[in-house]
Structure 1
Amino acid sequence: MKIAVAGKGGSGKTLVAGSLAFLLTRAGYTTLTIDADSAPNLGFLLGLSAREAGAIVPVSKNEGLIAAKTGTAFPGVYSLNFTVDDVVSKYAVPTPAGPHLLVMGTVTSMGAGCTCPANSMIRALLRHLFVERDEMVVLDMEAGVEHIGRGTAENVDMMLVVSDAHRQSLAIAERILRMAKDAGIPRLALVGNRIMDAGQEQVIRDFAHTRDLAVVGMIPFDATVTRAGIAGDSIETLQNSAAVCAISGILDRIFQDLQTRPLIRDAPGGHA
């Protein structure tokens, strides 16, 4: 199963992505998390120290790796024929919370110069991770909508778009969902986050209903999440919080949907 988590910056998508990866690992699945945000911070949530997280070079900025994979003997010419099957084993980092973490980084321009080899590398690696590997993969996407146009989430099984009840957050969620639908992602769902009362939940449900969108769950406002962020605590300290319990319910519903309309590959350890 390959899940992409998207949303406006500050929407809580990293909490959702990190919690899903943590819960999948705790359930016995081999799980890889991918941080594709331009300001990666998923490592902190998964328990890495500031020093450990800071030492990770994003794949898109790893000039040695990109040159080794795409370089040729001709200046300005790069190869499109390369393998990426060794990248995870060499560059994914184990985390205290359980999942392995691969910091992808982003390619800000599709055009000129050294960006082209980096972009080719990212596309090939993402296709390998989503199509050719069997473990669970959770992708924490770049905030906003531009990444959809770059094809970052092609070949995922499902995209969750996280939003609170604010109009701007919902407007960006709508754009992401529309672009993801156009890109052919087979399952799309909205996740309400930081829900403080029934009125906020209804705003999100009304928004989804008028646009024929599925709502896979509501995550309540949880002060323990805020306190953990200030303290720099990992997801393990939040596993019994109201927010993570709600995300666990969302994961259960995802599995129920996949059992009804199967897309999942055979999972390690006999899970399905």
Structure 2
Amino acid sequence: MKIAVCGKGGVGKTFIAGSLAWHFASSGHPVIAIDADSSPNLALNLGLSADEASHIVPVAENEELIRMKTGTDFSGVFRLSFTVDDIISRYGVPTPSGANLLVMGTVKAMGAGCTCPAHSVIKALMRHLVVERDEIVILDMEAGIEHLGRGTAEHVDILLAVADANLKSLEIASAICRLAQESDISTIGLVANRIASAQQDAVFRSYAAGHNLPVLGQIPFDQRVADTGMTGEPLDTSASDALNAIRELAERLEKAHAG
């Protein structure tokens, strides 16, 4: 099962992606968590310290790796065919969550059609992870909708467009769903996050119904989550309404994918 978590910046998609990875890994599944955001912080949600996270070299910025995979003896010429299966074992980072983490990083090149070496490695690696691997793969996608135009999330099984009751976040989530419907992704829908009142719930569901968008899950506002985000202290998972809702979402997704 391959799940892409998308949405406007600041709506909590990284928290949801990390919590899904925690749940599946703690349930005994092998999990690869992919941080494909240009401002990566999934490592913290998977239990790594800020110091540990700061020492992770993103794949796109690993010059030695890029050179090993694409280098030739000719200046300005690089290989387009190479293996990437060893990248997970060599550069994946074990985390306290039980999931292995890969940080993709940002390809610093102009144009959506870039064929630079780093872009080629990232594209080949993403396809390998999503199409050829048997693990559960959770992708924390770049904020916004641009990544869909680059095909970053193609071939996943499930796309979760995370939004809160803010109109802008709903509009971006809606645009993500519309673009994703042009792909072969079998399950596409909204996930409501940080819903703190009946009014916010009504706004979210009214928007979803008005735009014919399925609601795959609803995560309530949880002050415990907000507090631990400020302090960095571990979250008491047994007492968190938000994590309980994410567990229910994960179980529904697993059942839907299996059946």
| TM-score higher than 0.5 | yes
Match of 2:47 in 1: 47
Secondary structure (helix, strand or coil) at the match of 2:217 reads strand
CA distance in 2, matches of 1:30, 1:239: 22
State the 4+ residue runs in structure 1 displaced beyond 3 angstroms.
Answer: 108-112, 236-240
CA distance in 1, matches of 2:243, 2:21: 11
Match of 2:180 in 1: 180
Listed as ranges, the matches of 1:119-130 within 5 Å are: 119-130=119-130
Match of 1:77 in 2: 77
Match of 1:208 in 2: 208
Match of 1:23 in 2: 23
Secondary structure (helix, strand or coil) at the match of 1:182 reads coil
Any conservation in 2 of the 1:110–1:119 contact (CA below 8 Å)?
no
CA distance in 2, matches of 1:228, 1:65: 35
Instruction: Say whether residues 1:258 and 2:227 are aligned partners.
Output: no
CA distance in 2, matches of 1:142, 1:171: 16
Letter matched to residue 16 of structure 1:
I
Instruction: Give the CA deviation at 1:110.
Output: 5.1
Deviates more, 1:67-76 or 1:78-87: 67-76
Match of 1:92 in 2: 92
Instruction: Give the CA deviation at 1:231.
Output: 1.1
Instruction: Give the CA deviation at 1:239.
Output: 5.0
CA distance in 2, matches of 1:31, 1:149: 26
Listed as ranges, the matches of 1:1-272 within 5 Å are: 1-107=1-107, 109=109, 111=111, 116-234=116-234, 237-238=236-237, 240-260=239-259
CA separation of 1:134/1:190 partners in 2, compared to 1, >3 Å: closer, same or farther? Answer: same
Any conservation in 2 of the 1:225–1:238 contact (CA below 8 Å)?
no
Deviates more, 1:192-201 or 1:83-92: 192-201
CA distance in 1, matches of 2:242, 2:229: 13
Instruction: Give the CA deviation at 1:259.
Output: 3.2
Letter matched to residue 28 of structure 2:
G
Instruction: Give the CA deviation at 1:94.
Output: 0.5
Secondary structure (helix, strand or coil) at the match of 2:116 reads helix
CA distance in 1, matches of 2:72, 2:170: 46
Letter matched to residue 56 of structure 1:
I
- String of CA shifts for 1:197-244, please: whole Å, max 9, x gaps: 12211211121112221101111111100111111134x643530000
Deviates more, 1:61-70 or 1:102-111: 102-111
- String of CA shifts for 1:167-224, please: whole Å, max 9, x gaps: 1111111111111112332210100011011221121112111222110111111110
When normalised by structure 1's length, the TM-score is 0.91
Instruction: Give the CA deviation at 1:33.
Output: 0.3
State the Cα RMSD in Å: 1.7
Instruction: State the percentage of identical aligned residues.
Output: 55
CA separation of 1:233/1:149 partners in 2, compared to 1, >3 Å: closer, same or farther? Answer: farther
Contiguous gaps of at least 5 residues in structure 1: 261-272
When normalised by structure 2's length, the TM-score is 0.95
Match of 1:265 in 2: none
Any conservation in 2 of the 1:47–1:233 contact (CA below 8 Å)?
no
CA distance in 1, matches of 2:13, 2:238: 16
Instruction: Give the CA deviation at 1:109.
Output: 3.8
